[in-house]
């Protein structure tokens, strides 16, 4: 309850204005899914023009934008519901019913598409262990479970693990953003200096040196390496709400300096990743402060989760039927078609799956006397909060 009190005591003046509506958060989600689709389309339909393919490959940063927006959205939702009873239980219900139904549907679909044989993300193939870990959202903790059953599921593993710890963090830290940043620094240094070198040696011996690159990538996308991004997102939310201070800049400067030193000392190569994330965080803050709106991107953003899960299947299907030779025209057309088809799939899954899941979440979490006032619009509002 102390954390709830601190949240309620936070300033709610001009700093709260950017979060009064979720339009800009939807724009950011739209930009994020546009970037994610760009990198995967370019991998299957390369233009063979270095500058163009490189620009499309930079779409990987979209996942990190999702992380920032997710952290800010969770803080926003938690502070808006600071007076409700049993907030942690209700939080878990809402998050589980937002993410799990579509993800569980994706598991058999991608097993049918990709099979269970050995691959880049599963050197020894996919078995019951990988499927069980994926279905329980624990796949982020074992290298050959990440991205092996559902393409791109590493970010969903990170998201769900963050959701698991978020109520504990915000209850303990409240709106004290410096604590989020301090924990981000500690975890980053622990990962770079201790965990990553130890885990790399352990899993390289387990999978063999021939798969060292696979192990390195798995550790890079691990939750421990992603959690500081979420924590920075939480800190940025409260900085936007309550106002930035010189102490914020000082902490970020210390973060950069310590990360640089740790990177040079260990060779873990995570300093550049941190810097990219700090730049992305600044861009996210800038968009929110400017209250940017753009309806086409907002539409993509409201459907970004389903589009994220489905666009891999769309690209696979297009690749089987594609009549154009690789080149710039092929890449651009494939991108537009992928975005359009993924959006249509997302609209279908909204009506068939997501809306029903959100209605159920609302019924399970609404206060008893208010159950009769359930409105379909509630689910539509919840769907915008990934």
Residue 325 gets which letter from DSSP? P
- The band of 267, judged by pLDDT with boundaries at 50, 70 and 90, is confident
Rg (CA), the chain: 21
The pLDDT tens digits for 101-132 are 999 999 999 999 999 999 999 999 999 999 99
Give residue 169's pLDDT: 97
Handedness of CA 150, 190, 256, 264 (dihedral sign): negative
CB-CB neighbours of 81 under 10 Å: 14
Rounded Cα gap, residues 309 and 325, in angstroms: 26
Each as own residue / partner, the long-range contacts of residues 199-203 (CB below 8 Å, 24 or more positions apart, any chain) are: 203/143
Q: What is the pLDDT of residue 367?
A: 63
Token look-up 């088809």 returns 341
Q: What is the pLDDT of residues 194-253, one digit of tens each?
A: 999 999 999 999 999 999 999 999 999 999 999 999 999 999 999 999 999 999 999 999
54-61: average pLDDT:
97
Alpha-helix residue ranges (DSSP H) falling in the chain: 2-8, 23-44, 50-57, 61-80, 87-114, 128-135, 153-173, 177-190, 196-207, 212-220, 223-242, 246-266, 271-289, 295-302, 304-321, 328-349, 355-365, 376-383
pLDDT of 383 > 60? The answer is no
Q: Which residues contact 204 (CB under 8 A, 6 or more apart)?
A: 211, 212, 215
User: Encoding tokens for residue 125?
Assistant: 């193939």
Rounded CA gap, 219 and 311, in Å? 25
Mean pLDDT of the chain: 90
Give the confidence band of 273 by pLDDT, cuts at 50, 70, 90.
Answer: very high
pLDDT tops 70 at residue 161: yes
Phi-psi region of 118 (alpha: psi -120 to 50; beta: other; left: phi over 0): beta
For residue 269, the model assigns a pLDDT of: 86
The number of angstroms, rounded, from the C-alpha of 172 to the middle of its chain's C-alpha atoms is 23
* Cα–Cα dist 145/121, whole Å: 8
pLDDT of residue 7: 57
User: What is the Cα 248 distance to its own chain's centre?
Assistant: 24
Calculate what percentage of the chain has a pLDDT beyond 90.
85
The tokens describing 84, both together, are 């409700």
Reported confidence tier of residue 14, pLDDT bands at 50, 70, 90 = very low
- As a whole number of angstroms, the distance between CA 374 and CA 359 comes to 8
Lowest mean pLDDT among 63-67, 79-83, 173-177: 79-83
CA angle at 148 for the pair 147 and 151, rounded to the nearest 5°: 45
Who's near 382: CB < 8 A, 6+ residues apart?
94, 98, 358, 361, 362
Q: Give the model's pLDDT for residue 366.
A: 86
pLDDT range class, residue 84, cuts 50, 70, 90: confident
Calpha distance 285→354 (Å, rounded): 29
pLDDT at residue 3 is higher than 60: no
Both structure tokens of 101: 């139904």
- pTM for this prediction: 0.90
For residue 62, pLDDT over 60 is answered with yes
Confidence at residue 268, expressed as pLDDT on a 0 to 100 scale: 82
Please count the CA atoms within 13 angstroms of the CA of 244 that sit on its side-chain side. 12
Q: What is the mean pLDDT of residues 292-313?
A: 96
């Amino acid at each position: 309850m102390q954390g709830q009190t601190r949240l309620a005591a936070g300033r709610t003046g001009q700093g709260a204005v950017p979060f009064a509506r979720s339009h800009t958060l939807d724009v950011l989600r739209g930009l994020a899914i546009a970037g994610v689709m760009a990198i995967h389309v370019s991998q299957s339909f390369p233009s063979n023009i270095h500058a163009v393919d490189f620009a499309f490959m930079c779409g990987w940063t979209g996942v990190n934008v999702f992380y920032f927006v997710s952290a800010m959205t969770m803080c926003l939702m938690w502070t808006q519901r600071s007076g409700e009873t049993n907030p942690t239980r209700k939080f878990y219900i809402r998050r589980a019913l937002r993410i799990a139904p579509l993800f569980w549907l994706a598991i058999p679909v991608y097993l049918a598409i990709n099979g269970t044989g050995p691959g880049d993300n599963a050197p020894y193939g996919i078995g019951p262990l990988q499927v069980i870990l994926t279905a329980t959202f624990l796949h982020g903790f074992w290298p050959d479970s990440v991205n092996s059953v559902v393409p791109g599921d590493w970010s969903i593993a990170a998201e769900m693990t963050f959701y698991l710890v978020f109520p504990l963090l915000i209850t303990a830290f409240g709106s004290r953003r410096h604590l989020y940043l301090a924990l981000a620094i500690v975890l980053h240094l622990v990962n770079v200096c201790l965990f990553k070198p130890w885990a790399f040696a352990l899993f390289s011996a387990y999978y063999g040196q021939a798969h060292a690159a696979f192990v390195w990538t798995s550790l890079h996308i691990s939750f421990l390496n992603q959690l500081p991004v979420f924590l920075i997102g939480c800190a940025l939310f409260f900085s936007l709400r309550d106002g930035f201070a010189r102490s914020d800049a000082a902490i970020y400067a210390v973060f950069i300096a310590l990360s640089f030193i740790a990177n040079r000392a260990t060779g873990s190569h995570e300093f550049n990743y941190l810097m990219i994330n700090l730049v992305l965080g600044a861009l996210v803050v800038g968009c929110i402060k400017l209250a940017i709106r753009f309806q086409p991107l907002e539409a993509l953003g409201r459907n970004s989760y389903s589009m994220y899960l489905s666009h891999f299947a769309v690209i696979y299907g297009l690749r089987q039927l594609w009549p154009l030779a690789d080149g710039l025209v092929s890449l651009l057309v494939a991108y537009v078609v992928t975005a359009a088809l993924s959006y249509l799939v997302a609209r279908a899954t909204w009506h068939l799956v997501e809306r029903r899941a959100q209605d159920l979440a609302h019924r399970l979490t609404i206060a008893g006397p208010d159950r009769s006032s359930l409105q379909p619009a509630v689910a539509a509002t919840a769907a915008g909060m990934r």
